[in-house]
Amino acid sequence: MSGVTDLVQYLLAKYPTKVTVLGERSEHAIKGVEAALGIKFPADYREFLQRFGQLALGSIEIYGVFDDRLDDRSAQDGARMTIEERVYGLPTHLFVLYSHDGDQLDCLDCSQEDSPVVAWDNIDKQIIRRLAPSFLQYLEARAARFGELEGA
């Protein structure tokens, strides 16, 4: 196991009624999304998708991938959010992980080898800051904030 798996399993055990996951995603689905979007996911996010698919920390939803049928708009996941946001100017190297009511998007920057997580300003159409050097560190920060809100 690695940091992503350990962290999510810890959260599931500590907050069993407030933390949920979608479930394992197939390598076929993950590769299909990568091919459709023209990106390559970093190893830590790929592990997250393979093991958990998507994560909800209470009302905080960390987007993942449902499947590779991206024309089905009935599901809200990172792939579909990314496709929708590209219509409004999201650069093709960014993948949406979380939406702050549409004004700001937390995104994986898949143009860089280490794939940091950045904040995309959806109004000014620009990256405004680097949130974390990796998906794991982003997830750790979101989990810590969730724990603070839950009084842990």
pLDDT over 90 for what percent of the chain?
73
Tokens for 46, please give them: 């790929």
Residue of 70 and 114 predicted with greater confidence: 114
- Whole-number Å distance between alpha carbons of 152 and 140: 14
Residue 10: predicted pLDDT: 95
Concatenate the DSSP letters of all residues of 95-118 into one string. Answer: EEEEEETTTEEEEEETTSTT--EE
Q: Which two tokens stand for residue 42?
A: 């970093």
Per-residue pLDDT tens digits for 2-29: 799 999 999 999 999 999 999 889 999 8
Coil vs helix vs strand at 147: helix
Closest CA to 115 of 33, 54, 45: 45
Q: Using an 8 Å Cβ cutoff, are 125 and 62 in contact?
A: no
pLDDT at position 1, please? Answer: 45
74: pLDDT confidence band, cut at 50, 70 and 90? Answer: low
Helix (H, G, I), strand (E, B) or coil at 123: coil
What pLDDT is recorded for position 75? 60
Tens-place pLDDT, residues 102-149: 899 999 999 988 899 999 999 999 999 999 999 999 999 999 989 887
How high is the pLDDT of residue 53? 92
